[in-house]
Amino acid sequence: MHTSIVLTAATLLYTVFAAPSRLPAHHFRRCANETAINSTTPGTAPATPSCDLSGLSQPASTLQPPASDTQLVLIALGQGTQNYTCGANLTAAPSAIGAVAQLFDASCALSSDPTASTTALGTIEESAKSIGAHFFLDTTTPDFDIVGLGNTQAKKVEDCNAPSSTADVKWLRLEAQAQGSTSSVKQIYRLNTVGGLAPSSCEGKAAGDIVTVKYEAQYWIYA
């Protein structure tokens, strides 16, 4: 049963990659309040079994656009927690130790409504099964394990402030690492974040305490 789902997904992915793609130009804006820049994103393609992503362009940001030889294969809604730990100095903010999130397929929702907010996408969770998990192998190695795509170990290569930088965790560009990856995924962007920021101090807590803060994000996944 599981194997046949994976095989079907692999077949569909093969079909997707075999299709020719055009390279439309898209307009990118800097994160938060900086001035506009223009750039180019690669052609996009349908996700695993779901919907046509070719009309979608990534939310505007200062992050370097996806590499021109990649295709958008999935947009996942992540829902979980950003985790932090308190050091000996309780006046200082806790430091990041990773995140844990369930992933849901948001490709169709965004394909039919490209500007849907992450919060609006939250209802996917009520009607769909999780398609995978996001977690950390160590404090600097995010991992994405997704049915039909495989496992991807990644490294953060760039970040920028979310438009509401005092409310939402940063937007990120991640590069897949060969080591530990079984998928053909090359790049993952964390965008349209909601929540997840660390408290400004560890007052009221003890050294070594874990602080978990709920967050949601869109993960735009390119293979």
* Distance in angstroms (rounded) separating the CA atoms of residues 35 and 50: 35
* Distance in angstroms (rounded) separating the CA atoms of residues 161 and 164: 8
Residue among 4 and 33 whose Cβ is closer to ligand NAG: 33
Q: How long is the chain? A: 223
Residue among 100 and 147 whose Cβ is closer to ligand NAG: 100
| 30, amino acid identity | R
Residue among 81 and 141 whose Cβ is closer to ligand NAG: 81
198 contact partners, CB below 8 Å, separation of at least 6: 82, 84, 93, 94, 95, 96, 211, 213
Residue 140 beta carbon to ligand NAG: minimum distance, rounded to whole angstroms: 13
Residue among 12 and 90 whose Cβ is closer to ligand NAG: 90
Residue 101 beta carbon to ligand NAG: minimum distance, rounded to whole angstroms: 8
Biggest alpha carbon distance in the chain? 58
Residue 162 beta carbon to ligand NAG: minimum distance, rounded to whole angstroms: 9
145 contact partners, CB below 8 Å, separation of at least 6: 132, 133, 134, 135, 151, 152
Residue 181 beta carbon to ligand NAG: minimum distance, rounded to whole angstroms: 21
17 contact partners, CB below 8 Å, separation of at least 6: 45, 71, 223
Residue 97 beta carbon to ligand NAG: minimum distance, rounded to whole angstroms: 5
Site of interaction with ligand NAG (CB under 6 A)? 27, 32-33, 38, 80-81, 83, 89, 91-92, 97-98, 100, 161, 165, 210, 212
Residue among 50 and 83 whose Cβ is closer to ligand NAG: 83
